[in-house]
Structure 1
């Protein structure tokens, strides 16, 4: 395989697309769209969002000490894009997009009602880098829409129609599975059982 070298850049792709909501301390909240986010620890569950200090949400995050991460579906892609290119200092993103705030269980910052999965996050530290500051937070509650939870209580994120961000484009995530975690070493008996369960799930739909 031939290759071309480029100067160092932020080309790790694809990335998740999320909308973070943060309490503004005045009875409202702002939404900021984030692609620079991920998981940094499993026990306790820890996440982060990286935000430029000049962004309107930056000071809100510092004051609030908490935020929600709201996963984005294909239906929410336009709203997410708007929330990423407009400042809450100048516009009401809730009104402009039709997104609705939903009270969180553990923190003041609301979730977004239309999101299939909401992570309630409590900021633990802020790591400062030249262009972005990383808000490292503990996930203290997870709220999931009932329509992506099956009868066994399993979260079926593959049915949510989620979106990824890849080199400037929003891409819908395909439901076509290439295999589940551990499939390379899975025993034939286990593979057959999982295939039966998958076929049964399709029939129920």
Structure 2
């Protein structure tokens, strides 16, 4: 099957894109409103935008614009990216739902929190890695919003830290986003590898 731009309207391209761009890491974004209400929401369009300066980015689009994350980030200029692990996946899923702005989503998800050290935002206490960010800019792309944040603080639990500033993926146990489901990330291999399937 070949689908050109003129035929996009006849296919659900969002499903085809999400089904092929996998597995995607999940940025579990914590923010706080100007009124002090804690907010927590996952976004799977997430990656590193630059290493100098270290800048992380995530995209908010479609139904996700109903969440309070974008407004909170614009108002306060701060957010924290929490890594989602296997043990936190159910709580992350609960926080993906849309709640009224006055609802504390840490409480809704049953997630413990602690204060950030470099930004005035709570972080997920059980998450093994937190990346505290200050807003660099928000770029509007069509109906989407690309949020870029400069890294100002990094936290990693001892059990996932390896010598020479490495993260142990076997201890991290991150969760990946597939099209409509999620994936374990447990199997690793190096290249070249003669044992790979033909």
Alignment TM-score > 0.5, same fold: yes
Larger radius of gyration: 1
Structure 1 residues 111 and 88, CA gap change in structure 2 (3 angstroms): farther
Give the distance between the partners of 1:88 and 1:78, measured in 2 at CA.
Answer: 20
For structure 1, which runs of at least 5 residues remain unmatched after alignment?
186-205
For 1:159-178, what aligned pairs fall within 5 Å after superposition? 159-174=171-186, 176-178=187-189
Q: Does 1:124 align with 2:121?
A: no
Question: Size of the alignment, in residue pairs?
Answer: 178
For structure 2, which runs of at least 5 residues remain unmatched after alignment?
194-198
Contact 2:37-2:102 at 8 Å conserved across structures:
no
Tell me which of 7, 11, 22 is aligned to 1:13: 22
**CA deviations over 1:114-151 (Å, ceiling 9, x no partner):** 11100001111110022211111111111011221246
Give the distance between the partners of 1:31 and 1:161, measured in 2 at CA.
Answer: 20
Higher share of residues assigned strand? 2
Question: Structure 1-normalised TM-score?
Answer: 0.78
Tell me which of 158, 161, 166 is aligned to 2:170: 158
Give the distance between the partners of 2:100 and 2:84, measured in 1 at CA.
Answer: 19
What is the RMSD computed on CA atoms of the aligned residues?
Answer: 2.1
**CA deviations over 1:97-127 (Å, ceiling 9, x no partner):** 2211221121111211011100001111110
SS in 1 for 2:22: coil
Question: Structure 2-normalised TM-score?
Answer: 0.81
